[in-house]
Amino acid sequence: MHDLNNAGLADITRVINEVTTFIDSLPQPFKDCVAANNELKVLGKLYGVDDTTDLDALKNKLIKYATLHFLKVKGWIKTADQEWSGKQYEKLGRDAAGWGHECL
């Protein structure tokens, strides 16, 4: 997360890939919990995200958002880095939910 805080506009694709790698590295119990969470599936449907969603198109939408709103996203990354480092996981989760809402 700290490295992402220092990324520039040209690094957006790398940042997306690093975030994907980070998510992939989360412990399996966490992934199982998220997969079993029906609330996330209901939320996803509100944003047009479900099992049939074209993930490449969604990824491109997020890259476009990050490109057009780079300074805002960079601020989010800085905040996420601080909250993660400070072990403020619940706060980070709430903030990330708000950021996701704004992006989608």
The C-alpha atoms of residue 46 and residue 95 are separated, in whole angstroms, by 19
Give the pLDDT confidence of 80-89 residue by residue, as tens digits. Answer: 999 999 999 9
Q: Give the residue numbers spanning the domain of 64.
A: 2-103
Tokens of 67: 């490109």
pLDDT band at residue 94, thresholds of 50, 70 and 90? Answer: very high
| pTM given for the model | 0.62
pLDDT digits (tens, 9 = 90+) for 38-67: 888 888 888 888 889 998 898 888 888 888
Domain count, the chain: 1
